[in-house]
Amino acid sequence: MTDPLLSVRDLQKYYYEQDTFVDTLLGRERQSVKAVDGISFDIEPGETLGLVGESGCGKSTTGETLLRLREATGGAVEFDGENVFEMGSDELKAFRKDAQIVFQDPFSSLDPRMTIGDIIAEPLRIHDMPTDPGDKSKREWRRDKASELLERVGLSATQLDRYPHEFSGGQRQRIGVARALALEPEFIVLDEPVSALDVSVQAQVLNLLDDLQTELGLTYLFIAHDLSVVRHICDRVAVMYLGNIVELGPTDELFESPKHPYTEALLESVPRPSTREQGRRVDALSGDVPSPRNPPSGCRFRTRCPKVIPPDDLDIDQEAYRAVMDLRDALVVGDVNPDHIWETADPERVDEEAFIEEARARHVDAELRGDVASVVDTALGHLVDGDVEQTQTVLRETFESPCETRRPGVGDTTHPAACHLYEGSDEVEVIETTADAPVSADD
Amino acid sequence: MADPILKIRDLSTSFFTEEGKVNAVDSVTFDVEDGEIFGIVGESGSGKSVTALSVIDLIDSPGRVTGGEVWYRNADLAEEFRGSRPEAVDGDFVDVRRLPKGVRRSLRGPSFSMIFQDAMSSFNPSITVGEQIAEAVEVQRRARANPRRTRSRTQGYGLGSAILDTFLPNRDYVSNESMDRAVELLDQVGIPDPEDRAEEYPHQFSGGMLQRAMIAQALAGEPDILVADEPTTALDVTIQAQILNLLRDLQEQEGMSILMITHNLGVIARMCDRVGVMYAGEIVERGPLGDIFENPVHPYTQGLLGSVPDIDDPSDRLEPITGNVPSLLESEMPDACYFADRCPKAMTDCMTRIPEYDLDGRHSVRCVLAEREYDEADALEQEVMADD
Ligand SMILES: Nc1ncnc2c1ncn2[C@@H]1O[C@H](COP(=O)(O)OP(=O)(O)O)[C@@H](O)[C@H]1O
Ligand code: SF4
Ligand code: SF4
Ligand SMILES: [Mg+2]
């Protein structure tokens, strides 16, 4: 294998909230949002690496941080063998030529007061290019270059003096690509470049990106949430969840034999435009993505994972186990309210059996049997006097999962998956035993 | 087969703007069967949302429904107006557009209800979610008790912030029963701990949860027809799967019909029995899902399907439609098939307005290819220009 063009190691980017002087004065604790929390990957020259995941999982932050458009909290990025975060101003200037970015929103990413020609030529002007314009003035040279680029992306050079608002979404995205190409970069971060476009126009832009890569030998980091697009355009794919890469592999392999339960769920969820899709009922993941302010301990995906691993000594079927874990998560986020249970079960607050039955009906979404059922009932019994903590403790003693105590690492194979179900991920950092760290659901 | 619940005939809606008349919906015809999910698919600006708003009578100035009929099957209404407005009645159907305004308004809730892409903007940010749903319940309750009196207060309830914000419900207006019912509805749409959640404000809900709450609100009146305009477009794919499951469950439990509007062909495929494809304000092809997806006749339908990357088979190069969605300004609309300037099969025959051809009683299409083969000898000359 050749040396990678880009190499990302343990990249971290935390945003801090309540971090102002006033917050400090008021003694508010600064809160970190772990947008990107230790991710690593390489990109080979000429390849397209896809970065997929749901909104807020850290895709754009990754793209912007590795380009040094945002300051990293930790980790290292090497581009062409050089550490990007330690570059001096000259090296950085060269890096800013070699590595470009195209943003999602074709409506806000172009300055409305500049002509298309000026927008495309702007990076050239900033870098005081060209050094040798030959027999033209620099300005003429840049204008000619902008015409050439405009035609290269499928627009007409006669449109050079028009303004962004005169163009459609697809055309503006082509303009964004032309601008990114102006400095003849090696590497482009494409951040959701077709997400805002209608499918017919999206297909035009995807074909364009494909052609440009072939002709110019470009390397792409392609950020997207649309898995069909990713399958179509990427050589390898990294799947992100809550600031972590959970799986990374060659595209066909990842789509045909996904390893990580999250990847499986994502692929399962996508609605296919085909008659076979009709009436298909997806086993949808339950719940929302937890907040990155307070991510779950151990495996970040454990609050939604249908395969979350029961303790060795517990005899329980998977569905029941997931249901018990959902109950535990509900207790943590405060979704279990004993007063409401009483109100329905017995407003006089006498019939404890009715209380437990109602609690089960509300919060345990599976049929439980044997020991499991009695432990859960015992635990719910503590809710009778509102002792949520004791309920949690009882449940934890029996049901604590290795997925909540140990963080799965990403193995060093060609198709790693960060999940305890795979040997590749055996190198495990021991994490705090969970005192049921809150996993706030949706704020 | 039983009669449809809704028969839309030649519905047209225009916006009268400074630049001129915009024909957003142009002679649209379709049925919604009882208990089915009928889908409308198309790209942005093709007129999907305006069609939805026209059906449920929510077009505001500068827009106006300029023609067509909205036949709604409702034996009681038909009986009520058979004598006084015979032109508005046909068997068990009434033409909603020809009913008195007050009656039309009273249909929002118990007959038609709507959910949108952006749940946040259809809730009032300063009122708890529970109260807003309870208000919708209350309105229906009172309307039922006293059909004529409370109508004005029902106006547009749950149908968008613009209308909602014009009156702030207050606690006095919402009875305890309505509040209890609101909690029940929140529970029905899968909101955990609904009693507490009912007391929270919209911003305290996640996107998926707020979408559920909006669905709860739309269910308050137990509508016959739920219009869902891009209900999952703003959501991530795993949350989208939850909401689609929920909509299907509710549709089965409540026996309602759904008019599902989306640009996502996959969502259409999963959810719909029949589908209409919109382009430039027209339904250009319409029929059962299988016919549309497997034997599309209209070159636009074919192009749309060819543009979507296949997640299960990445090998093919995409075959996009060249060019862009046209302007719907009447002064710029050609006296020809609206797709002619982008159509790879455009012929001289296409240079006139194209009627809707019925292929087999179920599948219809607005394209001359319904009647004739493509012949290169008749091809129109086209300047093909990328994306322009
Ligand atoms: N309030 C309005 N004023 C003027 N034109 C409008 C208005 N609402 C919609 N339109 C126009 O109607 C056409 C169809 O829009 P719409 O139904 O929103 O399309 P879709 O839902 O398919 O994206 C577009 O050309 C749009 O610009
Ligand atoms: S480590 Fe556990 S919770 Fe995480 S994905 Fe694997 S099985 Fe699921
Ligand atoms: S009528 Fe003619 S131009 Fe229009 S879609 Fe059919 S073949 Fe193409
Ligand atoms: Mg719309």
Q: What is the DSSP string of B218-242?
A: HHTT--SEEEEESTTTTS-HHHHHH
| pLDDT digit string (tens) for chain A, length 443 residues | 578 999 999 999 999 877 677 777 777 777 889 999 999 999 999 999 999 999 889 999 999 999 999 999 999 999 999 999 999 999 999 999 999 999 887 778 889 899 999 999 999 999 988 888 888 899 999 999 999 999 989 888 888 999 998 888 888 889 999 999 999 999 999 999 988 888 888 898 899 999 999 999 999 999 999 999 999 999 999 999 999 999 999 999 999 999 999 999 999 999 999 999 999 999 989 888 998 888 999 999 999 999 999 999 999 999 999 999 999 999 999 999 999 999 999 999 999 999 999 999 999 999 999 999 999 999 999 999 999 999 999 999 999 999 999 999 877 788 999 999 986 444 444 444 444 444 443 33
pLDDT at residue number B1? 57
Tell me, yes or no, whether A347 and A263 share the same domain. no
The CA distance from A343 to A95, in Å, is 65
Selected for mutation to probe chain A from B233, B267, B311 (highest A CB count within 10 Å) is B311
Contact A57/B at CB under 8 A = no
Q: Are A35 and A17 a contacting pair, CB within 8 Å?
A: no
Which residues in B lie closer than 8 A to residue A171 (C-beta atoms)? 324, 387-388
Tell me which residues of chain A, numbers 285 to 304, contact chain B at a CB-CB cutoff of 8 Å: 285-286, 288-289
The CA distance from B319 to B352, in Å, is 27
The string of pLDDT tens digits covering residues B185-208 is 999 999 999 999 999 999 999 999
Q: Are B291 and B362 a contacting pair, CB within 8 Å?
A: yes
Enter the ipTM: 0.88
> Are A232 and B318 a contacting pair at CB < 8 A?
yes
Tell me, yes or no, whether A263 and A323 share the same domain. no
Tell me, yes or no, whether A260 and A322 share the same domain. no
* Adjacency order of strands within the sheet including A236-241: A99-102, A187-191, A219-224, A48-52, A236-241, A244-250
> Are A273 and B266 a contacting pair at CB < 8 A?
yes
The CA distance from A180 to A192, in Å, is 15
Q: Which of A332, A322, A385, A390 is nearest to A356 (CA)?
A: A385
At residue B73 the predicted structure's pLDDT band, cuts being 50, 70 and 90, is very high
Selected for mutation to probe chain A from B36, B183, B193 (highest A CB count within 10 Å) is B193
Residues found in chain B: 388
3-state secondary structure chain A: CCCCCEEEEEEEEEEEECCCHHHHHCCCCCEEEEEEEEEEEEECCCCEEEEECCCCCCHHHHHHHHCCCCCCCEEEEEECCEEHHHCCHHHHHHHHHHEEEECCCCCCCCCCCCCHHHHHHHHHHHCCCCCCCCCCCHHHHHHHHHHHHHHHCCCCHHHCCCCHHHCCHHHHHHHHHHHHHCCCCCEEEEECCCCCCCHHHHHHHHHHHHHHHHHHCCEEEEEECCHHHHHHHCCEEEEEECCEEEEEEEHHHHHHCCCCHHHHHHHHHCCCCCHHHCCCCCCCCCCCCCCCCCCCCCCCCCCCCCCCCCCCCCCCCHHHHHHHHHHHHHHHHCCCCHHHHHHHHCCCCCCHHHHHHHHHHHHCCCCCCHHHHHHHHHHHHHHHHCCHHHHHHHHHHHHCCHHHHEECCCCCCCCCECCCCCHHHCCCEECCCCCCCCCCCCC
What is the β-pairing status of strands A48-52 and B225-229?
unpaired
Ligand 3 in reach of B119 Cβ (< 6 A): no
Mean of all residue pLDDT scores within chain B: 88
The CA distance from A34 to A295, in Å, is 8
Peptide bond into A130 cis (omega under 30): yes
Tell me, yes or no, whether A64 and A192 share the same domain. yes
Overall average pLDDT of the B59-79 stretch: 95
Q: Are A404 and A420 a contacting pair, CB within 8 Å?
A: no
Is residue A124 included in any domain, yes or no?
no
pLDDT at residue number B146? 61
Q: Which atom of ligand 2 is nearest the CA belonging to A299?
A: 4
Nearest CB to A270: which of B195, B237, B294? B237
Ligand 3 in reach of B343 Cβ (< 6 A): yes
pLDDT at residue number A436? 44
Q: Pick the residue with more confidence: A433 or B76?
A: B76
The CA distance from A400 to B293, in Å, is 48
- What CATH code is carried by the domain that includes residue A85? 3.40.50.300
The contacts of residue B6 (CB under 8 Å, 6+ apart) are B31, B32, B55, B70, B71, B72, B73, B225, B257, B259
Q: Are B158 and B119 a contacting pair, CB within 8 Å?
A: no
pLDDT at residue number B160? 42
Tell me, yes or no, whether A89 and A206 share the same domain. yes
Specify the pTM: 0.90
The CA distance from B229 to A289, in Å, is 24
Percent composition of chain B: helix, strand, coil (DSSP 3-state, to 5) = 40, 20, 40
Tell me, yes or no, whether A257 and A342 share the same domain. no
Q: Closest residue (by CA) to atom 12 of ligand 1?
A: B24
Question: What is the B48 CA–ligand 1 centroid distance (Å)?
Answer: 8
The CA distance from A184 to B351, in Å, is 45
The residue to mutate among B277, B297, B367, B378, having the most atoms of ligand 3 within 8 angstroms of its beta carbon, is B367
The CA distance from B294 to A427, in Å, is 49
Is residue A334 included in any domain, yes or no?
yes
Q: Is the pLDDT of residue B170 over 70?
A: no
Residue A155 half-sphere exposure toward CB, CA atoms < 13 A? 32
Ligand 2 in reach of A428 Cβ (< 6 A): no
Overall average pLDDT of the B316-341 stretch: 88
> Are A203 and B309 a contacting pair at CB < 8 A?
yes
- Give the domain ranges of chain B: 123-222
Tell me, yes or no, whether A253 and A336 share the same domain. no
Is residue A50 included in any domain, yes or no?
yes
pLDDT at residue number A1? 58
Is residue A136 included in any domain, yes or no?
no
Work out the number of other CB atoms within 10 angstroms of the CB of residue B76.
9
Contact A156/B at CB under 8 A = yes
The string of pLDDT tens digits covering residues B126-152 is 999 999 999 989 887 777 766 544 433
pLDDT at residue number A434? 42
Query: What does residue A84 show for φ and ψ, rounded to 5 degrees?
Result: -65, -35
Is residue A428 included in any domain, yes or no?
no
Tell me, yes or no, whether A211 and A331 share the same domain. no
Is residue A443 included in any domain, yes or no?
no
How far does the CA of residue A212 sit from the closest CA of chain B (Å)? 15
The CA distance from A380 to A402, in Å, is 23
How far does the CA of residue A344 sit from the closest CA of chain B (Å)? 11
Q: Are B88 and B39 a contacting pair, CB within 8 Å?
A: no
Ligand 3 in reach of B337 Cβ (< 6 A): yes
Q: Is the pLDDT of residue B384 over 50?
A: no
Tell me which residues of chain A, numbers 208 to 237, contact chain B at a CB-CB cutoff of 8 Å: 210, 225, 227-229, 231-233
Task: Determine whether B342 is exposed, middle or buried from the number of CB atoms within 10 Å of its CB (0-12, 13-18, 19+).
Answer: buried
Query: What does residue A79 show for φ and ψ, rounded to 5 degrees?
Result: -120, 120
Nearest CB to B387: which of A171, A231, A441? A171
B74 sits in which H/E element: none
Contact A73/B at CB under 8 A = no
Nearest CB to B266: which of A171, A231, A277? A277
> Are A231 and B206 a contacting pair at CB < 8 A?
no
Is residue A26 included in any domain, yes or no?
yes
Number of domains, chain A: 2
Residue B33 half-sphere exposure toward CB, CA atoms < 13 A? 14
Residue A340 has which token pair?
A: 């409401």
Is residue A192 included in any domain, yes or no?
yes
Owning domain of residue A392: 318-400
Ligand 1 in reach of B328 Cβ (< 6 A): yes
Question: What is the B53 CA–ligand 1 centroid distance (Å)?
Answer: 11
Enumerate the β-bridge partners of residue A32. Answer: A16
pLDDT at residue number A435? 42
